[in-house]
Amino acid sequence: MFNLSLILVDSSYQSNTMALSRVELISRKFIEPSFSTTPPPPGSYKLGLSDQLMNSVYIPIAFFYPNKLNNSTSPNNIPIDVLENSLSNVLASYYPLAGREVDNLNIVCNNEMRATLIEATIDCEMYQISDNPNINAQDVVFPSGLPWKSKDDESLFVAQLTHFNCGGKALSLCMSHKVADGLTLCNFAHDWADATKQQGDQNPLPSPLLNSASVLPPIDDPSFKAEFGSFTSQENCITKRFVFHSSKLSQLKAKVSGETGITNPSRVEVVTALIHKCAHHAATSIVDQNSSKPSIFIQVVNMRPLINPPISSNSIGNFTNFFGVPFFDTKDMTFPGLVSELNKAKVQFYDKFKGVTAEELRQEIMNSIEQMKMMSSGEASLDQYICTSMCRYPFYDNDFGWGKPERVIFGASGVKNFIILIDGPNGEGIEAFVPLDEKVMNVFETDPELLEFASFV
């Protein structure tokens, strides 16, 4: 067994006490897809155009399950071989995730296909990790070095089951962004959970649609590269979780309606606007105010329901687009005004793209490639804030046989200003994962306007 010593931040964010935890690797296994009820895949799986534009990184998510028996010697155990078997069966349907990326067009799917499943223990209580608002400290439940990073020798899907002293456990999933977006990740987690919980039952395998290349045909050049800077990891970046409870969201919406006349701003609009305003204010407060740059806010949109005919939610791939709102006069930017601008941009986006054909969407993506390159290169001299909302994705419904998770987190991205939103437990409120430069975070997390509506728990 391999032992790795790690320093973890204590669960209380006010405390400066550091807890020393010990991570012990129990096993690391390669899991092959089971093709017992489906024919083997072809020799390769072609990526779609939007897949080609993604960097080779992992989308990391972790589910925390408490020991409901409150007895560390008698946890709700599911043998690791049950997880192995269910993963093997689900990979039969999601077989590109067991393949190997060879270029920017093809995923090789042959007799060497495999995913990776790791089992480990951490010598601490689950709450010390799950309740810590500093997401960087929670990365111990992920396979080492993988969250939002790429390793050429790794599988396209890597999972880790981590056991805590209290009998609680965490199951983390790292899925290649080349093959999948957040909705695919959500669907896969749900299908794997169902297959594990219903072990032994004769349930049909899931039926995801492998149609990314047929819906959005790729550029037929394996050497084509159009990766952008959004997923470039940066030093001195720290990710923290901020919780917006339902009552606070109602107050935010009422504040916007009272000052702008927008009758029903969305939860996502008010949260992203407040984060953007406070983060940009924090960034400008640590530099010369006269030299502060304008900013642009970018919102990622799931295009599946907008395309005509609609793309199934079971389609594997990256079916996303985005709209951006530049803010040049940031000194006078108010929260309600920011929501108003975001709302206008959203309405314009949906007016343009609702009912668009897949062919028309592909042409729009092709036309925007050079623009996206320029924005990523920094030539536009803008501070970029990117938000992807996975609200209404049922991450908290994933029951592997341990009940529903108590906490769901995304791994610390290390990518400055790339914000992720998900629903809280039982659909209550919104949890925001906010990565900022460490100096900016020190100012941001003490902003009175932010703390009026957001908390750490």
Residue 53 backbone phi and psi in degrees, to 5: -80, -10
Residues recognised as catalytic: 177, 399
356-409 confidence digits (pLDDT tens): 999 999 999 998 887 766 666 654 567 889 999 999 999 999 999 999 999 999
| Reported confidence tier of residue 220, pLDDT bands at 50, 70, 90 | very high
| Reported confidence tier of residue 98, pLDDT bands at 50, 70, 90 | very high
Average pLDDT over residues 242-248: 96
298-334 confidence digits (pLDDT tens): 999 999 999 999 999 999 999 999 998 988 766 667 8
Which residues, in sequence order, are CB contacts of 288 under 8 Å at separation 6+? none
Distances (CA, A) of 141 to 68, 97, 168: 20, 21, 12
Joined together, the tokens standing for residue 333 give 């930017």
- Using DSSP's 3-state secondary structure scheme, residue 368 falls into helix
Q: Which amino acid is at 267?
A: R
pLDDT at 27: 94
The CATH class of 229-451 is alpha beta
* Strand 157-164 with 100-101, pairing: unpaired
Helical H segments across 378-444, by residue range: 438-444
| Strand partners of residue 169 | 65, 163
Joined together, the tokens standing for residue 353 give 């793209």
* Strand 383-389 with 295-302, pairing: parallel
Q: Which of 3.30.450.40, 3.30.559.10, 3.30.70.260, 1.20.150.20 is the CATH number of 2-215?
A: 3.30.559.10
Average pLDDT over residues 24-35: 93
pLDDT at 380: 53
| Strand partners of residue 138 | none
pLDDT at 230: 53
| Reported confidence tier of residue 415, pLDDT bands at 50, 70, 90 | confident
Q: Which secondary structure element, helix H or strand E, spans residue 7, and what is its range?
A: strand 2-9
Return d(Cα 381, Cα 68) in angstroms, integer: 52
pLDDT at 14: 34
Return d(Cα 87, Cα 66) in angstroms, integer: 22
Sheet harboring 44-46: ordered strands across?
44-46, 106-108, 100-101
The answer to whether residue 231 scores a pLDDT higher than 60 is no
Higher-pLDDT residue of 74, 176: 176
pLDDT at 16: 29
Joined together, the tokens standing for residue 316 give 């594997």
| Reported confidence tier of residue 20, pLDDT bands at 50, 70, 90 | very low
Of all residues in the chain, what percent carry a pLDDT higher than 70? 86
99-150 confidence digits (pLDDT tens): 999 899 999 998 889 999 999 999 999 999 999 999 988 889 999 888 788 7
| CATH 3.30.559.10 residue spans of the chain | 2-215, 229-451
